[in-house]
Chain A
């Protein structure tokens, strides 16, 4: 059973516009969430995280929003750049250091 879901397998956005990647989860016990970015032939790399006690975390062009009542989080990339083209995974652990539950990923293509 997927505890973390990404329902959009792909997304295309024009360069300079906003990219919004969505993630839903089922377990209200998750206490923080992470986004990973993966380029072809490379392993996923950590991008940004958010604790469940916050509803927003911003790092440069990347902002993650958390809506606990809806069990939903989203990653906003503004402005989008061609180098952002990658697969993005959302993930959540039950406890720090424990195994992470990953979504199936969303492939973002930023069109120049």
Chain B
């Protein structure tokens, strides 16, 4: 199993540009989560999907952020327009419905730098 795959690993963009982060969850996992890691707030949940349907997007900081999951094997997180304060590491994670005590499986993250 290749695990949760995120792309790109690093992204540097100019303020005002659109940024799209991509995630491929583990096959068979029906829940997908987008997290953002910052020094001040640690790991913040932005949005999560269950069976491709967005369940809770209350963590999405602003309307500039949007996420989609068109099918069970792909999700995107888009920021438009991007701002320097969006600079962070963005993680995607997936889990099966019966998470048990093992929690999620995280991807390696996308380090976003907005200059």
Contact = CB atoms under 8 A, between A and B. Distances in A.
Secondary structure class of chain A's binding surface, majority of residues = strand
Interface in B57-115: 91, 93, 95-109
| Size category of the binding interface on chain A | 20 to 34
A51 to B, nearest CB: 7
B106 A43 contact: yes
Contact of B43 (A41, A44, A49): A44
A40 to B, nearest CB: 10
B100 A96 contact: yes
A25 interface: no
A102 B42 contact: yes
Contact of A43 (B41, B102, B107): B107
A34 B101 contact: yes
A101 B58 CA distance: 13
B41 A97 contact: no
Nearest to B10: A41
Interface of B: 4, 31, 33, 35, 39-45, 48, 50, 56, 91, 93, 95-109
Interface of A: 6, 32, 34, 36, 41-46, 49, 51, 89, 91, 93, 96-97, 99-105
